[in-house]
Chains A and B, each alone.
Chain A
Amino acid sequence: MDCGTDPAGLRVVGMSSDRIIQVGRDILSKNNRIAAENRARFVADDLVVYNLLSSPGAGKTSLLVRALSELKRKIPVGVIEGDQQTSNDAERIRATGVPAVQINTGKGCHLDAAMVGQAYRLLPPLNGGILFIENVGNLVCPAAFDLGEACKIVVFSTTEGEDKPLKYPDIFAASSLMLINKIDLAPMVDFDLNRTIEFVTRVSPNIEVLPVSARTGEGFGALYGWLQKQPAHRRHLVEDTTG
């Protein structure tokens, strides 16, 4: 099939005059480029950014509401809301006194880097703090769209079935932390923590797992501890300059 390449990058196939142009570009390159710009901006602003992913209703907003009330007393915090499950997610955040920008994703099933870059400009300065991005409730394509975050956190809940990590491996493989929310319901739904951990480490060997309850506050001490020890933005800075 390969009949030689001319200097312009055109290849003549067989006897026809069909022209083949070699492209070789990553389909996500545009998003990745904007994500890298976001990341550089976040690092310059000394901000750690987390991209929160889950199925609809796993409890992302509830977790944020509880955690923000505590975190805001110590450091600047802000939220970019992409979840439209309930249209008042940003309102629920603002009720805690934390600034939030709602992104209107329309029928979109994920956030992309350009949306986040624009929304970020609408937030007050958060230097030295944490920005949470609540992604659209969807376990499929958000895995492919880098937003410029330091890392991804996947929220899984005890009512979803232990084998979810096997059904949507990409999201779990891309995440640094898995929060197992609604742990207060574990006895009612016969939730098997060990089985869940076994499945998730199969698809994501290095993921950390924390059981929590946005309802009772169980596990939040461990979550604050995890957030505190993240040198995530610096790690990314190093990756960016070497790769």
Chain B
Amino acid sequence: MALCEGIMEIVEEEARRRSFSKVRTVCVEIGALSHVDAEAMKFCFPVVAVRTIADGAVLEIVELPGVAWCMACSRSVEIAQRYAPCPCCGSYKLQVTAGEKMRLKELEID
């Protein structure tokens, strides 16, 4: 819920800054390792958006892969979950390098 409110705050700030009054699509990028449940977000966004400039807008979610540096094989590997082992060597000594963020990427406006 707080995350959907965070999205709406940014949408409304952008609307003031760039003067638009209706949003049709909100596109967010969610890293596979961020703390977000995309399904829950899809469910709560329309509720939070009621009677705002994004009322009825479509929430588009782009999921980005998680990337980590494997200390054992000294290279970057893709992981689906934080606790997953390196897909190449099976080591758990990984440092996450990408896929932790959630960003409001773009808005489609009228």
Binding site for B on A (CB under 8 A): 18-31, 108-110, 112, 140-141, 143-145, 165-166, 169-170, 173, 201-203, 205
Contacts and interface: CB of A to CB of B under 8 A. Distances in A.
A203 B83 contact: yes
A110 B2 contact: yes
Chain B interface size range? 20 to 34
A236 to B, nearest CB: 18
A203 B83 CA distance: 5
Interface of B: 1-3, 6-7, 9-10, 14, 18, 20, 24, 28, 33-36, 81-83, 85, 92-94, 96, 101-110
A108 B2 contact: yes
Contacts of B1: 109
B108 A26 contact: no
A168 to B, nearest CB: 10
B89 to A, nearest CB: 14
Contacts of A31: 6
B33 to A, nearest CB: 8
A27 B108 contact: no
A21 B102 contact: no
B2 A23 contact: no
